[in-house]
Amino acid sequence: MKRFQLIVLLGSICLSLAALAGQAQEKREYVIVVHGGAGAMSGLEQNAELSAHYYAALDSALDAGAAVLDRGGKGEEAVLAVLRYFESNPLFNAGIGATCTAAGTFELDASIMRGQDLSAGAVAGLKHVKHPIEAAYRVMTQSEHVMMAGEGAEQFAREHGLDMVDDNLYFATPKTLKWVEQLKRESKKNGTVGCVVLDKAGNLTAGTSTGGMFKKKWGRIGDSPVIGAGTYADNASCAVSCTGHGEYFIRHAVAYNLCARYKYLNEPVEQAADYIIHQELNAEAGNGGLIAVDKEGHIAMPFNSGGMFRGYLYKEASTGAVHRQVGIGKNMRP
């Protein structure tokens, strides 16, 4: 080998090693990523008081998930704990605080998926189930079905002993009630919630819960309860939860699309997520974002909207050090 060729060869080996070192990531004992919806969020970060409420809520959601994983719980239990928390917090468009339909009612959708065996559960159009994510979980674990809607889904939830509410207005807040009164005035509420987890056993889980889109009509159902669109998890690739204009997320099968790019094109999770959110979708045709974690604990949280409530928490396997961050706009919390 000539001297010149040897230098080139050594140079490229050094470059590859440097690239590998750049990609290398310490092993993570577990990872939790949450979102609380995407949207315009204009001026929210500048409103210190209101943004502090959102930051605190995102922190509490991460804490709820970490508490489960720290005591050795499974990823699916952590996802349930996080989404139950969000469904109880009126700041978000899920459970209490859900946005209203054109008829002034509240119709809730949710789904959960387990990456270990691809089992999944989804519910749509619920009006009286306190925690839709619990109903989705029961569909996954206690029925032979994947998706149930409307009255049948409510009957299933009742028969499985879930907490029910007599009055659909249970899900209303002073703010959403105002929208019901003034339905003709355009108004939106961002705040679909989602959670993806890589647990200590290496299992991936994804879950999503929402009130859907403001003024939705005729039993409209968005992407959130559609497995492969708003939610997907597969231990061979990633766990994904989406938020945004659901019709586009269904057409582009966003959650599965990401897993497929990761699995078949060998794209890193961030690259696959960015491609879908910024190239296949965009702020006009598919406004929104997603959260994802891959089987090695790499995280992606892209959005093409003004902002997305989001956060992550992970624990390093070797040191036990915990890293966490939450954000609303382009930057994470300062």
Binding site for ligand ASP (CB under 6 A): 37, 190, 192, 210, 212-213, 222-224, 243-244, 246
At residue 263, the 3 state secondary structure works out as: helix
Distance between CA atoms of residues 209 and 133, nearest Å: 6
Q: Which is nearer to ligand ASP, 92 or 312 (CB)?
A: 92
Minimum distance from residue 149 beta carbon to ligand ASP (Å): 14
Q: Which is nearer to ligand ASP, 244 or 297 (CB)?
A: 244
Residue nearest ligand ASP (C-beta atom): 246
Distance between CA atoms of residues 255 and 190, nearest Å: 19
Q: Which is nearer to ligand ASP, 207 or 244 (CB)?
A: 244
Q: Which two tokens stand for residue 161?
A: 């002993």
Q: Which is nearer to ligand ASP, 68 or 258 (CB)?
A: 258
Distance between CA atoms of residues 31 and 40, nearest Å: 27
At residue 244, the 3 state secondary structure works out as: strand
Minimum distance from residue 222 beta carbon to ligand ASP (Å): 2
Backbone dihedral region of 9: left (phi > 0), alpha (psi from -120 to 50 degrees) or beta? alpha
Instruction: Scan for tokens 């349930």, then name that residue.
Output: 80
Minimum distance from residue 97 beta carbon to ligand ASP (Å): 12
Which one of 99, 101, 176, 192 is the catalytic residue?
A: 192
- 192 noted as active-site residue: yes
Angle at which helix 132-142 crosses helix 75-88, to 10 degrees, equals: 150
Q: Which is nearer to ligand ASP, 192 or 203 (CB)?
A: 192
At residue 73, the 3 state secondary structure works out as: coil
Minimum distance from residue 229 beta carbon to ligand ASP (Å): 9
Minimum distance from residue 54 beta carbon to ligand ASP (Å): 15
Q: Which two tokens stand for residue 209?
A: 């819960």
Query: Which amino acid type is present at position 302?
Result: P
Q: Which residues are catalytic?
A: 192
